[in-house]
Structure 1
Amino acid sequence: MLPCRIVLNSTSIANIVVSTHCIKKRNNGILKQSFKKAVFITSLLIFMFYLRAIFRSIYDARWLTEQKDNGKKAANYIVLFILLLSAIYAGYLATTLPPQMRTIRDTVFAQVPSFTADIRDGILEVSNLEQPFEYAGTSDGQSFRVVVDTVNTSTIVVDDTLSNKEENILLITRDQLVVRDAASGKTTLQDFSEVPDMHTDREEIVRWTDDFLGKESSFFVFLLIAWFILFTFGKVVYLLILTSLVFVIARLAKKDNWKFGQIYTMGLFAITGPSILVGIMHLYRQDIPYAYTILTLGLLLYVVFREQKHKEISPAKEEEK
């Protein structure tokens, strides 16, 4: 038998190199496609899981009961839910608020002379503007009032100005800025002590607001962050208070099968329905005082006492059988 000889010339080597490169490229393409499919499927499964969790949090009391020991799952859920809720609010306001704010600004500034404003050591001084300055108007069917008073005592000014809870109010005093949203009933304060020393005037404010309101993406991000912080404190922290109340009521009623942490964990899912319902009410400018508190507290109590009642009845049914 003659020995087999393999002769490699430059052409053969080149063909081998090209073939190897093609195989690697094809394998890399397959791996990339597989990775993209895996990411897509995983993202879809996660989306479906949280979408299902949102729906079941609204109507399924038994499912809510089953979540009382899923602390990690609840933490992930509430972060994503608040982020989603913040994005919806921010998206809506980012498209509707800038035109309204420009209209209000132009209307108010038409009544205002060219003024200057200085903040020094947390105190605002406004020159060339007769104070107290007050302007009342309407925007999108809602009344609003702008008040600037850096002369009188801030506490008195704030109390007098905020007495009418049906108005949207922008109040500027010597040491703080106060914004009150009549629809939500929320009042936001900004102390000038937290603002660095600065000098501005009427023209600069107009330029700054035009630039800020003209960038919808920047305005959206600003609102997204603001709403996320607001919802985190307004829902996650406030839930601690409601959980404490439910826990005390359950203990007084001798329903001791729920721990404080379990009620709170379940509550992180349970706030879904009340949050969505109150959000829809705000969208249609319908405000029922304490609606969120009543709905959330009622749902927490229902789930806690329903589960206990189920446990009490079950043994009796088993004895009858």
Structure 2
Amino acid sequence: MIRAIHLLDDFAMGGVTRSMLLHRRPELASLAQSDVIPIKQGTKIAPRFDAELIITHFPPSWSRIPFLISLRLRNPTARLVHVEHSYTRSFEEHCVSSNGRFRIMLEMTLAIFNEVICVSHAQAEWLRQAATLPYAKVSVIHPWSSRPGLLDVPDLEHRTSGKQLRLAAYGRFARPKNFIALIHAISRFAPDEIELHLGGTGPDEAAMRAAATGNSHIHFHGMIEDVPAFLTECDALIVPSEWEAFGQVAMEARMAGRPILVADVDGLPEQVNPFCPAGAVAPLGTADEIERAVRHFMRLPLVDLGHRGRIATRSFEREVVKGWSDLYRRAANCAAQMENSDLPRAA
């Protein structure tokens, strides 16, 4: 068994933090003892770790370069792996003022690692190009929320013609989620056509509530502690993000048997499997686009889409566990090779 260190700098990252629970599963715990270590933002010198595998879960940046270089120098025999949760093609388009400088940073920082894990195939394709990474250095392991009870949510019932659609959206109330445009779009529907149920908190909450003023069919639920119960009371999920590496909420909705409407950005379209479709993909950047997409979505066979989406998730957890198992085995093989070489072990 090897020891694996997971380095996090933000324990408010709900999906990332919850995903650490996966490593307690017997299949993974038998391969690696996994420990989560907090790293304060601004830390320049990395600790020495008694570990064969060190995994970073925070995005690289110019300010992180001293830490990452020292992580490599102070742990010379450890296998370094980076999991990229944040950066995507759409993030670069929306948030990066100098693509050249940004890509130089990516190339410099990711060169320090033995392996890079992406959370979607679209992200992996973009990152290989953006950071000029060898194809074999990048692999994909989808996130896993470890949220119980989703598979126990009752199947969606058939809606009678003209019945109100209960549409859900949840996550951090911040710009990437594009919830303000969503509210403007839903405000154009009659209350008997659709209800929008919003879960979460964040810096955009005041603006969102202001945009929803006068719309009795838009409801705020605060932080969602019981996601299965929240999804039980809804008919479908919409994810109108401006950028989204994977879209954990879409996976949770699929597990709960709820159809999804997702933006055509980054890893979100992968949630709507063309061979077993779980919903629809559409441009959702503006209120006009969201309104058009929702009106089309309402005419789809939502019960069938929800059922198919749930079926497609049955092997998902097994695939995620296999991805991490393979990663741990690669690290164990590298550690064994180190033991048989003349290289000194890390202190």
Class of the TM-score when normalised by the shorter of the 2 chains: under 0.3
Relative contact order, higher structure (CA 8 A, sep 6+): 1
Larger Rg: 1
TM-score, structure 2 normalization: 0.22
